[in-house]
Structure 1
Amino acid sequence: MVAGLITNVVFGFVRSSVLMAAVHANSGFGGYDRGTIGAYTWLSQGLLGAIAFWTLPDIVERIRTGDVAIDFLRPIDVQFAHLAEYLGRATCTLLPRSVPSVAIGALTFGLALPNSAGPYVLGVISLALAIALSFLSMFAVCLSGFWLVETRGLRALHMICGTFLAGLFAPVHLFPGWLQTIAYATPFPAMLQWPVDVISGRTAGLAAAGLVAVQCFWLAVLTALGRLLLRAGRRKLEVQGG
């Protein structure tokens, strides 16, 4: 946790310096000013430990070894069991990693954050949905192991495209129109950009509620996709001894 916090802070300093220089050079920088770009940078850095772009679910190895056959025999739902485990793990990273890194950002660069409780309440809901979406997306990619010998290539592609389209390297609001259209057609902005927008107050009121509603839509889509892949994988699975 300490190593993760230090990494968050170091990269937070780098990203903040670059983006604030861009804001200073261009006053129309995607509608951001010094305080709002600081909020975007440090909130997104703080959430990285809870978002599953780099975390590898245990099911990858269990599919490779065939141990997933045991999971299918247990009286639990495989998808929701892994999701529950990840939600607990992600929640445990928020206090030791996210809160201190955001506090350091506020002390060093200054953040423009809402003064009312509403955005934070809705932001907590949006954050929980974002964590679940990030895991369900990676989980679905990992289930390709039922058909592929090696899934590292797909997982690397998911990480690269996902982090970019989620708005990690630059806010999605800065993308050109055609690239924004591509990003909004995927669930990735709902995993990082939108919870940051809701918590920071950049998107408020009915617009913020609309973002949460779209997150719920993607939650249903990714849950259904995972269940379909699990069902198909169960029929495909072959392990030694039958």
Structure 2
Amino acid sequence: MLVHGAVYARGLRRYSTYRAATLAGVLTNSVFGAINAMVLLALFGARPEINGYDATDAVTQVFIGQALIGVTLIISGPSLDLSTRIRTGDVAMDLLRPVPLQSWWLAQDLGRATFAFAWRGLPTFAVGALLFDLAAPDAPLATVVSLLLVAVLGFALRYLYTLSGFWILDVRGLWTLMGFVGPVAAGMMLPLALFPAPVADVLRLLPWASLVQIPAEIYLGKDTLPGGSALGGLALQAGWATVLLGLGAWVTGRATRKVVVQGG
């Protein structure tokens, strides 16, 4: 635990040095959030309620999604530094550590996610609250727990994408593909409530929805959550976190038998 705590602190300290990039991220997320919000306000001006969502719900979810971009890195990465180490063969040195590969990178990424949420996510949401009428959290404690699970889930998915480098060596193509699929399936580009009901019901059960749509519905107190409650939403997120981390551990075991050193 001491090792993981040190790795977490290192990740937090490392990303806290990128202050200009963080400020640019806040500005970018705020601008795109405002544009998306105004489009949705125009939509709800013509139809005040869609599948249990009103204009305030939709705009609130827009800024929840924008606040979580830096945490999840759902839009085209960047991938974990591990992808480069796999390509160069330096991952062989990582495997010599007396710490599992997955937990090492999880601790570091949680440090990064903590900084991203505190210094990029919260300011972005605050800008949204200044510009628009956003809803207050229906269940604050459940929302906090949900956000913690978002950080774990975001890592778990990115870790699996990264591990594909043991077989395909260059993961940029996969990252590009998931940069399109992930935000749509997560409800970041458009709340899933605006999709046809059968499509939305399926997408809510996929892991990407637990990155944005489920946390947003927990925040808003929607009865579309599994079991109709925040507890059901948290159970879905925790279930996916367990499955994905378990899958990551299994794939790591398979992948480390196939370490390919390229270029050295």
TM-score by length of 1: 0.92
Distance 1:64 1:128 in 2: 30
Residues 35 and 66 (structure 1 numbering): CA distance in 2 closer, same or farther, change over 3 Å?
A: same
Equivalent runs, 1:185-196 vs 2, <5 Å: 185-196=205-216
Equivalent residues of 1:39, 1:112 under 8 A apart: yes
RMSD over equivalenced CA pairs, Å: 1.9
Once the two structures are overlaid, the 10-residue window that deviates more, 56-65 or 178-187, is 178-187
Equivalent runs, 1:112-151 vs 2, <5 Å: 112-114=135-137, 119-151=139-171
Q: Tell me the number of residue pairs that the alignment of Structure 1 and Structure 2 aligns.
A: 238
Of 65, 80, 98, the match for 1:75: 98
Once the two structures are overlaid, the 10-residue window that deviates more, 192-201 or 165-174, is 192-201
Alpha-carbon offset, residue 185 of structure 1: 4.0
Structure 2: state its 5+ residue gaps. Answer: 1-21
Of 152, 159, 164, the match for 2:172: 152
**Which one-letter code corresponds to 1:112 in the other structure?**
A
Residues 39-67 of structure 1, C-alpha deviations (whole Å, 9 max, x = no match): 11112111111113223101100100001
Distance 1:97 1:144 in 2: 29
Distance 2:202 2:219 in 1: 24
**Which one-letter code corresponds to 1:4 in the other structure?**
G
**Which one-letter code corresponds to 1:47 in the other structure?**
L
Equivalent residues of 1:43, 1:102 under 8 A apart: yes
Of 17, 25, 37, the match for 2:46: 25
Alpha-carbon offset, residue 181 of structure 1: 4.1
**Which one-letter code corresponds to 1:104 in the other structure?**
V
**Which one-letter code corresponds to 2:64 in the other structure?**
L
Distance 2:135 2:127 in 1: 14
Distance 1:148 1:96 in 2: 35
User: Helix, strand or coil for the counterpart of 2:70?
Assistant: coil
Equivalent residues of 1:138, 1:158 under 8 A apart: no
State the partner residue of 1:212. Answer: 234
Distance 1:200 1:90 in 2: 23
